[in-house]
């Protein structure tokens, strides 16, 4: 049987590489927690996607639990956010609180894995989520940590209707779960103050992402129940750029995020956008006219 071991090694490598799919969601049938029926808030929300996250809300802050891959991924995201925000607003990224005085909204905040460290960096943070149980978990954890984060059960459209604006909008690992992508991006863009930034992290729709995030993660390794991801909802960078441009924003950078199975760590990879990537968009100071035109167009 000389062919068995090499074949197993190939499968093992594929399975580990599937970590690049990132969105590790356990089977709700195997999760012991209070059941919740999420309600749709607006046209951008997909009830079936909300149900997945409602079913695992209790798992957010367990670093060795179902969200372990996301906990391992978080430091590289935070480093990028801190450094790019500091550079844009003329701050020292190595300062104790480099984001002092800046306002940040984390759209689709989940349990607060990004909102809390952004608050520790000095930002005034609002976290919103369309799954009410996520907001409850995030709020309790922030209180336990002594952090002031304004968590709300709401959508980007809700805040846009209130005319809220922020220096930084975080849109991280959310957009591939959204029912109306262009409307969601437009809502998020309305939240960005002129001169501000939006960060968008998602999965690219490529053969490589299908292999790693669908076949590897759901069928070979079985980390995810089959059907957790819909590859057709993965988003190419060009599909972000167009609606952002219509909303008065321009993409200034796109960088990939890759996983090294040997070192068991994530790293930024500017040239590898095949699976996970993060786009950075800026709203220019003269973008108010373009944004007003986009809002008017959507209202007709």
**Full-model pTM:** 0.78
Question: What tens digit of pLDDT does each residue of 133-147 get?
Answer: 899 999 999 999 999
User: Which residue's structure tokens are 């006219």?
Assistant: 289
Say how far apart CA 278 and CA 80 lie, in whole Å: 9
The pLDDT assigned to 221 comes to: 66
How large a percentage of the chain has pLDDT more than 90? 55
How far apart are the C-alpha atoms of 290 and 111, rounded to whole Å? 34
Domain range for 260 is 4-299
- Taking 70 as the threshold, does the pLDDT of residue 18 lie above it? no
> Percent of the chain having pLDDT more than 70?
71
Nearest Cα neighbor of 247 from 188, 203, 206, 181 is 188
**Angle in degrees, 0-180, between the axes of helices 288-299 and 237-246, rounded to the nearest 10:** 100
Q: What is the pLDDT of residues 98-117, one digit of tens each?
A: 999 999 999 999 999 999 99
Sign of the CA dihedral with 178 first, then 270, 207, and 241 last: positive
3-class DSSP assignment, residue 84 = helix
Q: How buried is 119 (Cβ within 10 angstroms: 0-12 exposed, 13-18 middle, 19+ buried)?
A: buried
Dist. CA 296–CA 41, nearest whole Å? 22
Is there a contact between 207 and 233 (Cβ–Cβ < 8 Å)?
A: no
C-alpha to C-alpha distance for 130 and 107, rounded to whole angstroms: 9
CATH code of 221's domain: 3.40.50.150
Q: How far apart are CA 92 and CA 22, in angstroms?
A: 30
pLDDT at 223: 60
Query: What is the domain count for the chain?
Result: 1
Helix (H/G/I), strand (E/B), else coil: 39: coil
Dist. CA 175–CA 232, nearest whole Å: 12
State how far the Cα of 214 lies from the Cα of 223, in Å rounded to an integer: 10
Q: At what angle do helices 132-145 and 47-54 cross, to 10 degrees?
A: 40
**What is the pLDDT, as a whole number, of residue 266?**
86
pLDDT at 46: 60
Report the distance separating Cα 251 and Cα 279, nearest Å: 7
279: helix, strand or coil: strand
Predicted confidence (pLDDT) per residue in 34-87, tens digit? 334 344 456 665 665 545 544 444 678 888 776 666 778 899 999 999 999 999
Residue 209 structure tokens: 């992402």
């Amino acid at each position: 049987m000389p062919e068995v071991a090499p074949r197993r090694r190939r499968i093992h490598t594929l399975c580990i590489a599937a970590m690049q799919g990132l969105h590790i969601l356990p089977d709700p049938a195997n999760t012991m927690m209070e059941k919740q029926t999420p309600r749709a808030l607006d046209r951008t929300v997909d009830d079936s996607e909300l149900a997945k996250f409602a079913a695992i809300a209790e798992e957010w802050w367990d670093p060795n639990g179902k969200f372990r891959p996301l906990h391992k991924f978080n430091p590289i995201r935070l480093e990028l956010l801190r450094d790019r925000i500091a550079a844009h607003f003329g701050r020292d990224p190595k300062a104790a609180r480099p984001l002092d005085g800046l306002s940040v909204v984390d759209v689709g905040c989940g349990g607060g894995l990004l909102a809390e460290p952004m608050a520790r960096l000095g930002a005034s943070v609002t976290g919103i989520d369309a799954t009410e149980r996520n907001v409850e978990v995030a709020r309790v954890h922030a209180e336990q940590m002594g952090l002031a984060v304004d968590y709300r059960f709401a959508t980007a459209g809700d805040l846009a209707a209130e005319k809220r604006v922020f220096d930084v909008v975080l849109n991280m690992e959310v957009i591939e779960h959204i029912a109306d992508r262009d409307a969601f991006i437009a809502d998020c863009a309305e939240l960005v103050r002129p001169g501000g930034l939006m960060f968008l992290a998602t999965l690219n729709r490529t053969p490589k992402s299908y292999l790693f995030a669908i076949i590897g993660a759901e069928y070979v390794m079985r980390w995810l129940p089959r059907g957790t991801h819909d590859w057709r909802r993965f988003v190419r960078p060009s599909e972000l750029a167009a609606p952002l441009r219509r909303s008065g924003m321009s993409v200034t950078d796109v960088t990939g995020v890759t996983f090294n199975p040997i070192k068991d760590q994530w790293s930024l990879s500017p040239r590898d956008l095949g699976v996970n990537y993060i786009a950075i968009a800026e709203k220019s100071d003269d973008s108010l006219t373009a944004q007003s035109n986009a809002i008017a167009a959507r209202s007709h």
